Each structure stands twice: as structure tokens, then as C-alpha cells.
């Protein structure tokens, strides 16, 4: 009899960060979550995962790179357990459960930053585990696993720019981005728990007037029909204020407001907030231009002419938005 594990090889996956170019909160649901209308785009900034089948019954995780908190609490374990339960005996070595995996995670996306790093790791884990096991799940079952793991996970499982609605489970790909816009990310070292921001949003929700929803619908339509980098960058001013969570995040992290203003002054650009924050972003025509801006920010921080909130220097990173055709896994 052939050993099913011998046919299985390690699998490598990139888990990209995301940016919310718009984020409209359009309602509160009975389950306590919020209905969103948000344009999500993946970035070249990405965590890297490798998943290798091992003997034994316990999945393991080894994390390198940025601080990701206690490994035992990592969403990778929940993603493996959920994917294994969904597969059941439906893998080549079945009918027993799919084998334990040894996962290596190289963390490059700051955690609790509004960049979706944990959710992306979860999606990459599910996708990579299925391949490592030689198992398949139909789209419905994959989406169910993803939605169970977190609101942002279905977006990462789909891949590519998308309009995200509902709690996050409705993902409509947007194929019209022409080119590769650069993005500067500045993440102060103040982890912002998403639930706290939504709780603050509920306390002040009278501030929502539908303007962000309109900006979001407009951008989604343009990104569906076709939008050049120059036209996207020209819309940065509108997009920078197209986030209904901004006032709530400002309540949770008041120091972010003057920092955002100072950053905008230093760079002469509109500055947006990704998701529930605290990551701030600026759009550029290319990753090279974003890299120049990153140097300006680092120099201003070093010289003391720009002061970031938090106990240490912020994460400053030049990256780019990934269009649909560039999406994929590493060989």
C-alpha cells in the first residue's frame, strides 16, 4: 500500500495585506456585525507561509519576522482545524482525517493594523492546506470555512481587488485596475482591536450620512469598468475621507488625528485610514514614488519633525496594489 503522505510535498503561499480604499458602514445586523460596502485591494506586502505534512496528530506553527503574539493563539491553528473538519475523509489518504501540518509563517504584515494580515494568513492556510492534503472543497464549502474564520477571510480566498459587502462574505471581483499604483503605509505601534472601533462606531453612528457609501459605489463602478493609476491617484482626496470608521478610530486612538494631519502636511498628499486602523496610507503613481515618500517619512521621524504616537517608531513601508492578473502563489 502506498503511504499517502509520501505523495504530498510542502506548499508555499503568499498571504497579501489589504487596503480598504473605501469603507462604508451601511447597517447593523441582528448578529451584532455591520453590513459594509467596501473596496478592498490586495498589496504586494505579504506574509509567507509554508505548509508541510508531518507524521503525528498535532499541527505545529513556527513564526518568524514581526511580532504575531502567542503562537498558540494564532488563527493558523483555527484555519487548519476548520479546513480539516470540512474535508473530513475526503482526501487521497482518507477516510481518516487529513494529516497534521507543520506551518512556517514569516510575518511581514503588522498585526491589528487594519491590513488584514491575520485574515490573509487564515485564507492562505486553508488554500495551502487543501493543496498539501491533495483535497478539494467546492466553492460553497470554501466560502463557508472562510466566513466562519473571520469577516475579511472570504476576500483573501477570492484574491484580487473586490467590492466587499454584507459582513464580508459577498465578494465581487473588480477587474478594471490598469497598472500598479504605489502605496505608502505608515502604521503607528498602537494595535487597534477592530471590535473596539465598531463599538465606538455604534456609539456615534449618527455621523454616517451616506456620502462614503456614494464614494464607495462610484469607485467600485470605476474599478469594474476600467481605472488607470493616474485616475486612481487623482481621486485620493475623496478616498482618504471615504471611511465611515474614521471618527470611531479617532475616538479609540485620539493621537492618530494630529499624526494623520502632520503626515499629510509632510507629504503634501491626502492620507487615508485602512479599515479600522491604525494604518495610514497615501497613493502614488508607482511603488518607486512610494519608496521616496517612505524615505521622507523615515527622515522626518528621525529628525523629530514628525512625531508618531506609540512607544516606538511606526512601521513605514512602500508597497503596491496588486491587480487580478498578478495574483497567485509562489512556486
Task: With beta carbons less than 8 A apart as the criterion, state whether 84 and 63 touch.
Answer: no
Please name the residue that has the C-alpha cell 457609501. 213
Residue 155 in the binding site for ligand C5P (CB under 6 A): no
Q: Which residue is nearest to ligand C5P (CB)?
A: 151
Q: Which residues contact 4 (CB under 8 A, 6 or more apart)?
A: 91, 92, 93, 99, 134
Residue 167 in the binding site for ligand C5P (CB under 6 A): yes
**CB of residue 34 to ligand C5P, shortest distance in Å:** 4
Residue 33 in the binding site for ligand C5P (CB under 6 A): yes
Residue 34 in the binding site for ligand C5P (CB under 6 A): yes
Residue 194 in the binding site for ligand C5P (CB under 6 A): yes
Catalytic residue among 47, 121, 152, 244: 152
Which one of 11, 19, 36, 61 is in contact with ligand C5P (CB under 6 A)?
36
Q: How many residues bind ligand C5P (CB under 6 A)?
A: 11
**CB of residue 248 to ligand C5P, shortest distance in Å:** 11
Residue 213 in the binding site for ligand C5P (CB under 6 A): no
Q: Three-state SS string across 270-326, please?
A: CCEECCCCCCEEEEECCHHHHHHHHHHHHHHHHHCCCCCCCCCCCEEEEEEECCHHH
**CB of residue 193 to ligand C5P, shortest distance in Å:** 8
Which one of 93, 150, 181, 278 is in contact with ligand C5P (CB under 6 A)?
150
Q: Has 3 been annotated as catalytic? A: no
DSSP letters spanning 16-78: EEEEEEEEEEEEE-TTS-EEEEEEEEEEEEEEEEEEEE-SSS--EEEEEES--S-GGG-HHHH
Stretch that binds ligand C5P, among 60-68, 134-142, 147-155, 242-250 (CB under 6 A): 147-155
Q: Has 152 been annotated as catalytic? A: yes
Residue 30 in the binding site for ligand C5P (CB under 6 A): no
Among residues 294, 231, 230, which one has the least CA distance to residue 263?
A: 294
Is residue 213 helix, strand or coil?
helix
Taking only Cα atoms into account, the Rg of the chain, rounded to an integer number of angstroms, comes to 20
Q: Which residues bind ligand C5P (CB under 6 A)?
A: 33-34, 36, 150-152, 167-168, 194-195, 198
Which are the catalytic amino acids?
18, 152
Amino acid at each position: 500500500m502506498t503511504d499517502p503522505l509520501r505523495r504530498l510535498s510542502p506548499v508555499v503561499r503568499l498571504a497579501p495585506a489589504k487596503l480598504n480604499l473605501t469603507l462604508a458602514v451601511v447597517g447593523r445586523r441582528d448578529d451584532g456585525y455591520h453590513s459594509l460596502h467596501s473596496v478592498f485591494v490586495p498589496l504586494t506586502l505579504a506574509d509567507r507561509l509554508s505548509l508541510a505534512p508531518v507524521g503525528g496528530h498535532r499541527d505545529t506553527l513556527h513564526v518568524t519576522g514581526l511580532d504575531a503574539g502567542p503562537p498558540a493563539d494564532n488563527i493558523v491553528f483555527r484555519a487548519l482545524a476548520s479546513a480539516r473538519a470540512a474535508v473530513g475523509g475526503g482526501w487521497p489518504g482518507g477516510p481518516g482525517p487529513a494529516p497534521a501540518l507543520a506551518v512556517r509563517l514569516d510575518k511581514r504584515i503588522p498585526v491589528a493594523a487594519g491590513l488584514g494580515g491575520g485574515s490573509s494568513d487564515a485564507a492562505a492556510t486553508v488554500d495551502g492546506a487543501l493543496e498539501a492534503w491533495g483535497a478539494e472543497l467546492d466553492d460553497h464549502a470554501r466560502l463557508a470555512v472562510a466566513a466562519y474564520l473571520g469577516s475579511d477571510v472570504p476576500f483573501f480566498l477570492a484574491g484580487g481587488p473586490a467590492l466587499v459587502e454584507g459582513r464580508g462574505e459577498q465578494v465581487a471581483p473588480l477587474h478594471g485596475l490598469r497598472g500598479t499604483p504605489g502605496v505608502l503605509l505608515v502604521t503607528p505601534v498602537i494595535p487597534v482591536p477592530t471590535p473596539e472601533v465598531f463599538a465606538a462606531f455604534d456609539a456615534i453612528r449618527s455621523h454616517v450620512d451616506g456620502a462614503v457609501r456614494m464614494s464607495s459605489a462610484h469607485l467600485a463602478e470605476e474599478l469594474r469598468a476600467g481605472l488607470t493609476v493616474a485616475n486612481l491617484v487623482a481621486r485620493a482626496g475623496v478616498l482618504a475621507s471615504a471611511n465611515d470608521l474614521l471618527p470611531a478610530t479617532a475616538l479609540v486612538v485620539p493621537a492618530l488625528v494630529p499624526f494623520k494631519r502632520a503626515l499629510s502636511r509632510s507629504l503634501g498628499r491626502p492620507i487615508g485610514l485602512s479599515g479600522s486602523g491604525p494604518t495610514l496610507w497615501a497613493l502614488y503613481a508607482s511603488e518607486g514614488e512610494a519608496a521616496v515618500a517612505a524615505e521622507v517619512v523615515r527622515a522626518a521621524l528621525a529628525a523629530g519633525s514628525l512625531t508618531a504616537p506609540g512607544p516606538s517608531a511606526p512601521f513605514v513601508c512602500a508597497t503596491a496594489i496588486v491587480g487580478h492578473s498578478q495574483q497567485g502563489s509562489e512556486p
